[in-house]
Chains A and B, each alone.
Chain A
Amino acid sequence: MLEIKDLHASINGKEILKGLSLSVKPGEIHAIMGPNGSGKSTLSSVITGNPSFEVTQGSIVFESKDLQKMAPEERANEGIFLSFQYPVEIPGVSMVNFMRTAINEQRKYRNLPPISATDFLRIMREKKALVEMDNKLTNRSVNEGFSGGEKKRNEIFQMAMLEPKLAILDETDSGLDIDALRIVANGVNKLKSPENATIVITHYQRLLEYIIPDYVHVLYDGKIVKSGGKELAMELETRGYDWIKQEVVV
């Protein structure tokens, strides 16, 4: 589904990713862990096409398509979703209108007619229930005045609405209390299917108690330096990252 090979990327001339390779198949959950500044968020930005980052080398192929040739919105409409670490506020644009526009853009991309009002409202209702989201939130402007936890929940709500093939959760657990974490994780698990894949980017093992990864990768200095099963996450939790750094140096 997603094939990243020898990826190098930089921001403002500074190289952050230095030869990263990753392969994700449908139905899989991959966790990307690593210390601060190792390039975790850069990876999500580059996959989704954030124009602040420049890919200098390597390739990203999603379902046989070269992502680098596609605009961010095309990548989104191909089925790549990013749950932002810091979701932005868009004053004046209601969640309802935002979501309807996004869904209709996706449908247009797939040569489908715009969604009917009744279908849209029904899906909204279902997906809101999934992440236990308050009705009041969807009547407000996008993320405006939302608490940190509400913003994260709103990201998962949008993910549920857009039903991506590949979802990237960038530090979705940060700023969440334990109840919110459970709700968010529960939402993610319910959306899981043999056809779609998830990349979970996180600092801590905590989220991985709820979202069980098939693979855990350790990112350090712009490269994946170690990969393993979910037990690797446990090991990182108890031993920290220093031993990984040692290994890399050796």
Chain B
Amino acid sequence: MSDTIIHEVTQSEYKYGFTTDIETEVIPVGLNEDVVRMISAKKNEPEWMLEFRLKAYRHWLTMKMPEWAHLNIPEIDYQSISYFAAPRKNAPQSLDEVDPELLKTFDKLGIPLEEQKALSGIAVDAVMDSVSVKTTFKETLAEMGIIFCSFSEAVEHHPDLVKKYMGTVVPHTDNFFAALNSAVFSDGSFVYIPKGVRCPMELSTYFRINAINTGQFERTLIVADEDSYVSYLEGCTAPQRDENQLHAAIVEIVAMKNADVKYSTVQNWYPGDKDGKGGIYNFVTKRGICKGENSHISWTQVETGSAITWKYPSCILMGDNSSAEFYSVAVTNHHQQADTGSKMIHLGKNTSSHILSKGISAGVSQNSYRGLVKVGVNAENARNFSQCDSLLLGDKCGAHTFPYMEVNNESAIVEHEATTSKISEDQIFYCNQRGISSEDAVGLIVNGYAKEVVDKLPMEFAVEAQKLLQITLEGSVG
């Protein structure tokens, strides 16, 4: 029986596979300078933005897709992808103007906008196919000087800030996908927290791919000025598709002196069906810079989706006494492949970083942790602790750990720990004998395993993450 229970439990198919019937405007497939110009024109962008895109595009032409990851990526024909899709209707001013279909979509995801607005105090900037459809709470935030808007709006209304920070953490030359994104990015979010302001609410954006064959290229820029604090949430699920969909996002975070930025994400892009057909390719560049003294950035991610994930939320610890964390749960099932981890680059003095990575592999999936801890020559007393755990369900999946360390300062202390464990049939039967079904038993065990990371998520997200991990909530008792 050895595999049957685990097999049954892990063979449940993607539950959020549905598409929303909203009119979309798609430009013809293929990529060339004209397409880049067309994207820019459709968004009424200023000349400097177009120049940025063209520079990135020209650089992209000179680059090749990276091949070092432990991934088997089918050849992608970049000329068969459409690079822009936007809902036809103009952005609505209130919920009444929002397409009911869209609202239904969010309902299915368990994210009713109205309730969030009314109950949880979250400002939601919903990105539906590249263009922001709805932004809430903007006025409240504006009173405090906080800017939270779509990237396009930022380009229009806050060009100085965008010009000052865009591309400073992830330059367009950084890597193949970053260059591609810089050339064709559709939209995303922009956050600016002024000096001394503590953002009073969690900022969240829900991304969702919703047009056949449309690559989605978000770009997010978060700037936390001196002595400020912000918690930013990003979550996404995608509808079921046969065609592979390309997703290449960029997230840049800048934390100035004493600033504190918490970035959390639950990622559930369509992973493909049981046989590995379809699914999103997710090639993301996420990086933050602790620019000022005592600044702090934390990344928390729960990754359950995508056919292929290539993602390394990283941090450059430039300011003295700055610190950063990376907490991750990455689940792969069926034919999913994930190569994910973090990079911590210690440059300033007395900097510290913590990496906690929990991989869960099932089916015939491949789950790799890849991490780099780099300590610069001048990074006196840098400290890093990395822990990478792998949990295997069944015996056909793979878990891999690739830790890299480059330490150029003798005072540094860098530690790495790794464990691998497996859910055994004995554990499952033990739970069965206490009245707990095999599915719930796996949920319970996975929940327990991932708890340390899930607990780092803001409450609203933790619930969604636990749903995604098929688990019952570990309640207030105990």
Q: A97-B478, A100-B475, A101-B472 are in contact. Are A90 and B432 (CB under 8 A)?
A: no
- Interface flag for A50 (CB, 8 Å): yes
Query: A141 to B448, Cβ gap below 8 A?
Result: yes
Query: A90 to B435, Cβ gap below 8 A?
Result: no
Whole-angstrom CA separation of A10 from B454 in the bound complex = 43
Contact of B432 among A72, A81, A101 (CB under 8 A): A72
Whole-angstrom CA separation of A139 from B478 in the bound complex = 7
Whole-angstrom CA separation of A141 from B445 in the bound complex = 10
- Interface flag for B1 (CB, 8 Å): yes
- Which residues of chain B are near A84, meaning CB under 8 Å? 430, 433
Least CB distance, B447 to chain A, in whole angstroms: 8
Contact of A73 among B436, B449, B476 (CB under 8 A): B436
Query: A101 to B445, Cβ gap below 8 A?
Result: no
Query: A48 to B1, Cβ gap below 8 A?
Result: no
> What per-residue 1/0 map shows which CB atoms of B422-466 lie under 8 Å from chain A?
001111011111111110100011011101000000000000000
- Interface flag for A205 (CB, 8 Å): no
- Which residues of chain B are near A117, meaning CB under 8 Å? 475-477
Stretch touching chain B among A27-35, A102-110, A236-244: A102-110
- Interface flag for A49 (CB, 8 Å): yes
Contact of B445 among A48, A71, A82, A90 (CB under 8 A): A90
- Interface flag for A91 (CB, 8 Å): yes
| Of listed A81, A101, A102, A158, residue having the most chain B CB within 10 A | A101
Least CB distance, A12 to chain B, in whole angstroms: 11
Closest to A45 in B: B429
Contact of A51 among B429, B436, B449 (CB under 8 A): B429
- Interface flag for A133 (CB, 8 Å): no
- Interface flag for A94 (CB, 8 Å): yes
- Interface flag for B474 (CB, 8 Å): yes
Q: Which of B388-427 contact A (CB under 8 A)?
A: 421, 424-427
- Interface flag for B72 (CB, 8 Å): no
Least CB distance, A110 to chain B, in whole angstroms: 10
Query: B427 to A51, Cβ gap below 8 A?
Result: no
Whole-angstrom CA separation of A124 from B431 in the bound complex = 19
A-B contact count (CB 8 A): 95
Query: B432 to A92, Cβ gap below 8 A?
Result: no
- Which residues of chain B are near A90, meaning CB under 8 Å? 427, 430-431, 444-445, 448
- Interface flag for A77 (CB, 8 Å): yes
- Interface flag for B62 (CB, 8 Å): no
Query: A102 to B477, Cβ gap below 8 A?
Result: no
- Which residues of chain B are near A210, meaning CB under 8 Å? none
Least CB distance, B293 to chain A, in whole angstroms: 37
Least CB distance, A78 to chain B, in whole angstroms: 9
Query: A98 to B434, Cβ gap below 8 A?
Result: yes
Closest to A86 in B: B426
> What per-residue 1/0 map shows which CB atoms of A141-164 lie under 8 Å from chain B?
100000000000000001000100
Query: B474 to A92, Cβ gap below 8 A?
Result: no
Contact of B435 among A51, A93, A109 (CB under 8 A): A109
Query: B474 to A51, Cβ gap below 8 A?
Result: no
Q: A98-B444, A117-B477 are in contact. Are A91 and B432 (CB under 8 A)?
A: no
- Interface flag for B5 (CB, 8 Å): yes
- Which residues of chain A are near B445, meaning CB under 8 Å? 90, 92-93
Contact of B434 among A52, A141, A158 (CB under 8 A): A158
- Interface flag for A88 (CB, 8 Å): yes
Closest to B434 in A: A102
Closest to A51 in B: B1
Query: B440 to A76, Cβ gap below 8 A?
Result: no
Query: A105 to B475, Cβ gap below 8 A?
Result: no
Query: B435 to A77, Cβ gap below 8 A?
Result: yes
Query: A101 to B436, Cβ gap below 8 A?
Result: yes
Whole-angstrom CA separation of A8 from B474 in the bound complex = 41
Q: A51-B5, A97-B474, A100-B477 are in contact. Are A92 and B433 (CB under 8 A)?
A: no
- Interface flag for A215 (CB, 8 Å): no
Q: A100-B477, A117-B477, A120-B477 are in contact. Are A91 and B449 (CB under 8 A)?
A: yes
Query: A48 to B430, Cβ gap below 8 A?
Result: no
Whole-angstrom CA separation of A80 from B435 in the bound complex = 9
Whole-angstrom CA separation of A73 from B436 in the bound complex = 6
Q: A72-B432, A76-B432 are in contact. Are A51 and B4 (CB under 8 A)?
A: yes
Pull 5 A–B residue pairs with CB atoms less than 8 Å apart, ordered by A: A51-B4, A73-B437, A76-B434, A76-B435, A105-B434
